[in-house]
């Protein structure tokens, strides 16, 4: 008969605890996945709160509904050189929307090369938004903000403000590239 060493005993105990923790995490994840989006007020934000965060920055936006009936906000004042700045809200339900994406579109600019866009998106650039070129050549910026609630008004204003600064940075980048 083999002796069970202290090392083996520790391995068995910690292995069992690890498996038990994983099972509990899977059970919790199953409950989260099974729920409908926009039903948990702790991680869903209303269009009214996002509009309030925009107005707290001195800007304004008009509220619309997209084809799925979810809120879509369009800035009414100009921001940098962007043609349009908007907020798309997805995964909405009675408590609000879980996914919020800030978006800006600029006119096509051939001087803004893929290398410029790749540099923008590189981690060393320290910007939060992602730059891309659309199929029609528009330069776009987008920045997701997920799982904020109506209680997160100040954080939303800060993130929207940072995005607006990045819209201005992109304007400067495009002017330098031309």
* CATH number of the domain enclosing 166: 3.30.1460.10
Domain of 120 in residue numbering reads as 41-177
Model confidence over 37-79: pLDDT tens digits?
Answer: 899 989 999 999 999 999 999 999 999 999 999 999 999 999 9
CA 77/CA 100 separation, integer angstroms? 20
Quote the number of domains for the chain.
Answer: 2
pLDDT at 154: 94
Sign of CA dihedral 55, 159, 50, 101: positive
Q: Are residues 126 and 163 in the same domain?
A: yes
Q: Are residues 124 and 157 in the same domain?
A: yes
Q: Are residues 115 and 141 in the same domain?
A: yes
3-class SS of residue 59: coil
Q: Are residues 24 and 51 in the same domain?
A: no
Q: Are residues 122 and 173 in the same domain?
A: yes
Q: Are residues 51 and 117 in the same domain?
A: yes
R_g over Cα of the chain: 23
Task: Return the closest-CA partner of residue 85 out of 76, 98, 97.
Answer: 76
Model confidence over 101-145: pLDDT tens digits?
Answer: 999 999 999 999 999 999 999 999 999 999 999 999 999 999 999
User: How much is the pTM?
Assistant: 0.80
């Amino acid at each position: 008969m083999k002796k069970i060493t202290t090392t083996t005993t520790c391995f068995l105990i910690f292995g069992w605890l690890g498996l038990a923790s994983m099972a509990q995490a899977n059970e919790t994840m199953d409950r989260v996945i099974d729920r409908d989006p926009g039903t948990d007020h702790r991680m869903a934000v209303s269009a009214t709160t996002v509009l309030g965060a925009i107005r707290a920055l001195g800007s304004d936006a008009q509220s619309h509904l997209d084809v799925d009936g979810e809120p879509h906000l369009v800035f009414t004042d100009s921001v940098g050189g962007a043609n349009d700045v908007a907020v798309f809200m997805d995964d909405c339900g009675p408590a609000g929307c879980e996914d919020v994406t800030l978006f800006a579109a600029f006119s096509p600019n051939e001087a803004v090369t893929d290398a410029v866009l790749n540099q923008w998106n590189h981690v060393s650039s320290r910007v939060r938004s992602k730059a891309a070129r659309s199929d029609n050549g528009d330069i776009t910026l987008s920045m997701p903000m997920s799982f904020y609630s109506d209680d997160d008004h100040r954080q939303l204003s800060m993130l929207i403000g940072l995005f607006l600064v990045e819209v201005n940075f992109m304007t400067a980048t495009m002017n330098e590239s031309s």
